[in-house]
Amino acid sequence: RVLHHLKHNLWRPESTILFVGYQAEGSLGRRLLDGAKKVKVLGEEISVKARIVNMDGFSAHADYSQMEEWLQHLTMYNAKQVFVVHGEATASKAVKEMIEEEFGWNAYIPFYADRAIMSKTACEIKAANIPQVSVQKDMEEFFVDIDADYRQLRRRIINLVVKNPELMPAAMNTIQKGWRYVKRLFKDFGIS
């Protein structure tokens, strides 16, 4: 039903598509929120002319602090192993690090085909021994680190420009040059 509404309204400039919940990475909703100009809906390519709006605060999932509070109630059970399966890679990594630092528990973000062999006293994790999965996992971890660096740099640039508005043109010019360079590198790899 939602896809039919999108198919019949995304192309209309007088329409507004309002997202009130979390849109997972790779989903149609996330692509729209990220500014896609064309999307495929029910097998048809649609030009996005509608206004796309996101209203935060309606997520059905616990946020970082709610998960931390929930975990505090589990301390009496002295957990040996925690599996983090909530959120995208960057958020999962942050939760994993919080669990390890704050609670001293082993935390693991499982990946496709990983196995956990559990007994009453221990948990042995066996990472998938599938080359494609290993490469994908390594790339995911690499991009999580890049994403964290990007977010930190982005915050610093925004703070600098807010305090010194006269730097805005130079900052934008430098960022655009850098982005053009990155896009050229991807093009060299056949990624457009």
CA-based R_g, the chain, Å: 21
Contact 97/87 with Cβ under 8 angstroms?
Answer: no
- The amino acid present at 188, given as its one-letter code, is D
**pLDDT at residue 48, rounded to an integer:** 94
- Per-residue pLDDT 10s for the chain (192 aa) are 888 999 999 999 999 999 887 787 778 998 999 889 999 999 899 999 999 998 876 666 667 788 888 888 776 566 778 899 877 777 888 889 998 998 888 899 888 888 999 888 888 999 887 776 677 777 878 887 888 788 888 888 988 999 999 999 999 999 999 888 888 888 888 876
E-strand stretches of 42-134: 44-47, 51-54, 81-83, 106-108, 115-118, 123-126
**pLDDT at residue 58, rounded to an integer:** 63
- The amino acid present at 54, given as its one-letter code, is N
